[in-house]
């Protein structure tokens, strides 16, 4: 089956059948594979907006376009999508604060781009959400939850049109936080009871703002409305419990908490993924979260998710590049730093299935005074 790809989503190695949409009158001499990014740039300059591709003919192991090069291109594209998402999220918050009706069109466009990228390769965007700006938590949290929601939904086999609606709801789920006073929203310590009461109003604000937004589906609203409800009925804003919390509502609660646990903030460093998984399981045992869905989410993310950092028995720090479904504790990694000598080293790709080395623990970039953004940039350049 052919797929329509927007020109910004087109990647080297993909097989183009014909032009789908364009602003000019450019014609292809023949169908064929995209050889490199220069070809994509040429098409874009000619006014080509989208093309039809044949996914079954995508190159993955031919000499000129290797699987690794394709992955690098996908990660670069994912980073572009993530940054564009943040800019749109910034506008959403500004409109909500001013009382302006939200324009759903750019939200739909960017979440569709994210979903397309995730269906093409979920690992690329999963890697990018590990790059966090401490002072942009509010923006990046909403974008990241939308990404996790789409990855999780795809893993569960939910149809793509529904995944797109779920992603929109997740993208907008915290828009009401813009109404919460800054001193409460960004307070470093524990909130007082009165402050927490004010903080909880963000869920009501989100619902009100989304309800007034033309074009929002019931599914998108449902996702946003249920993200703080708990199975035991002690969530908010409506104390919904048990089977009254839909599957989608249970899913976003997990994605929301996981991202909050793992994200760095100005006043708090995030937990390593393994610690965050343990907390999710504990919350499930306390009947806050759905037990089965928590276990499925952990399987979806992987014990050591793509883009996370690990320390090896050899005292090397490595980034996880590829999962091993047969043994999740032995992924393919790329080492780049010596934890013993505290300096960068020549990178080495290690398949832990075929190595005497092994993972000792999951770590954070800040454990070694490293910048995750620079790590990703370095590895992309090497790719």
Give pLDDT tens digits for 321-335: 887 777 888 898 999
Q: Which of 5, 113, 177, 332 is catalytic?
A: 177
Which helix (H) or strand (E) segment is 320 a member of?
A: strand 316-322
**Tokens describing residue 241:** 């419990």
CA dist 319 and 165 (Å) reads 32
Peptide bond into 231 cis (omega under 30): no
Q: How large a percentage of the chain has pLDDT more than 90?
A: 56
CA dist 215 and 221 (Å) reads 11
pLDDT category of residue 69 using cuts at 50, 70 and 90: low
b/e sequence 144-177, b meaning 16+ C-beta within 10 Å: bbbbbbbbbbbeeebeeeebbbbbbbbbbbbbbb
pLDDT at residue 60, as a whole number? 56
pLDDT at residue 180, as a whole number? 96
Helices 218-225 + 247-262 axis angle, to 10: 50
Give just the sign of the alpha carbon dihedral 258, 259, 263, 266.
negative
CA dist 246 and 187 (Å) reads 32
Give just the sign of the alpha carbon dihedral 207, 152, 219, 228.
negative
- With beta carbons less than 8 A apart as the criterion, state whether 67 and 61 touch: yes
pLDDT above 80 for 310: yes
pLDDT at residue 74, as a whole number? 73
Instruction: Kindly report the backbone phi and psi dihedral angles of residue 62, in degrees, each rounded to the nearest multiple of 5, phi listed first.
Output: -80, 155
pLDDT category of residue 72 using cuts at 50, 70 and 90: low
- With beta carbons less than 8 A apart as the criterion, state whether 113 and 50 touch: no
- Between 124-133, 204-213, 321-330, the lowest mean confidence (pLDDT) is in 124-133
Which helix (H) or strand (E) segment is 342 a member of?
A: none
CATH fit for domain 68-301, picks 3.40.50.11810, 1.10.3730.10, 3.40.50.720, 1.10.3210.10: 1.10.3210.10
Spacing of C-alpha 213 from chain mean position: 24
pLDDT category of residue 79 using cuts at 50, 70 and 90: confident
Half-sphere exposure of 369 (CA within 13 A, CB side): 3
pTM for the model stands at 0.77
Spacing of C-alpha 34 from chain mean position: 26
pLDDT tens digits for range 239-278: 999 999 999 999 999 999 999 999 888 778 888 888 999 9
b/e sequence 221-257, b meaning 16+ C-beta within 10 Å: bbbbbbbbbbbeeebbbeebeeeebbebbbbbbbbbb
SS3 state of residue 199: helix
Peptide bond into 237 cis (omega under 30): yes
Angle at 201 between CA 200 and CA 206, to 5 degrees: 110
Domain boundaries, given as residue ranges, for the chain: 3-59, 68-301, 309-382
Task: Identify the DSSP state of 334.
Answer: E
32-33 and 48-53: which strand pairing?
unpaired
SS3 state of residue 335: strand
CA dist 112 and 117 (Å) reads 9
Nearest C-alpha neighbor of 200 from the set 186, 217, 180 = 180
Mean pLDDT, range 131-151, rounded to an integer = 86
CA dist 351 and 322 (Å) reads 9
Active site residue 44: no
pLDDT above 90 for 307: no
Which helix (H) or strand (E) segment is 219 a member of?
A: helix 218-225
């Amino acid at each position: 089956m052919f797929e329509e790809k927007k020109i910004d989503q087109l990647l080297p190695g993909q097989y183009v059948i014909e032009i789908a949409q364009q602003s000019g009158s450019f014609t292809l001499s023949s169908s064929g594979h995209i050889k490199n990014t220069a070809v994509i740039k040429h098409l874009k300059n000619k006014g080509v907006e989208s093309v039809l591709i044949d996914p079954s003919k995508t190159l993955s192991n031919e000499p000129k376009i290797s699987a690794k090069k394709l992955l690098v291109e996908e990660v670069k594209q994912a980073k572009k999508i993530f940054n564009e998402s943040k800019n749109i999220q910034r506008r959403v918050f500004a409109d909500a604060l001013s009382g302006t009706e939200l324009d759903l069109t750019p939200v739909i466009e960017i979440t569709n781009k994210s979903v397309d990228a995730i269906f093409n390769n979920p690992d690329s965007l999963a890697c990018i959400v590990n790059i966090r700006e401490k002072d942009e938590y509010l923006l990046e949290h909403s974008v990241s939850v939308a990404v996790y929601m789409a990855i999780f939904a795809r893993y569960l086999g939910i149809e793509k049109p529904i995944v797109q609606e779920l992603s929109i709801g997740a993208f907008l789920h915290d828009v009401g936080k813009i109404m919460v006073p800054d001193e409460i929203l960004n307070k470093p310590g524990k909130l007082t009871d009165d402050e927490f009461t004010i903080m909880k109003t963000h869920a009501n604000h989100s619902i009100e703002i989304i309800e007034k937004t033309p074009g929002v589906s019931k599914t998108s609203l449902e996702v946003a409305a249920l993200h703080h409800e708990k199975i035991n009925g002690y969530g908010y804003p409506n104390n919904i419990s048990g089977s009254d919390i839909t599957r989608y509502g249970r899913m976003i609660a997990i994605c929301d908490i996981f991202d909050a646990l793992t994200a760095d903030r100005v006043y708090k460093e995030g937990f390593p993924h393994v610690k965050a998984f343990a907390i999710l399981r504990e919350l499930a045992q306390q009947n806050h979260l759905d037990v089965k869905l928590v276990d499925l989410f952990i399987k979806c993310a992987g014990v050591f998710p793509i883009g996370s950092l690990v320390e090896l028995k050899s005292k090397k720090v490595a980034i996880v590049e590829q999962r091993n479904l047969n043994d999740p504790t032995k992924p393919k990694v790329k080492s780049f730093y010596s934890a013993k000598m505290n300096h960068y080293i020549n990178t080495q790709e290690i398949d832990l299935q075929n190595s005497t080395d092994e993972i000792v623990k999951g770590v954070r970039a800040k454990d070694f005074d490293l910048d995750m953004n620079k790590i990703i940039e370095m590895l992309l350049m090497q790719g």
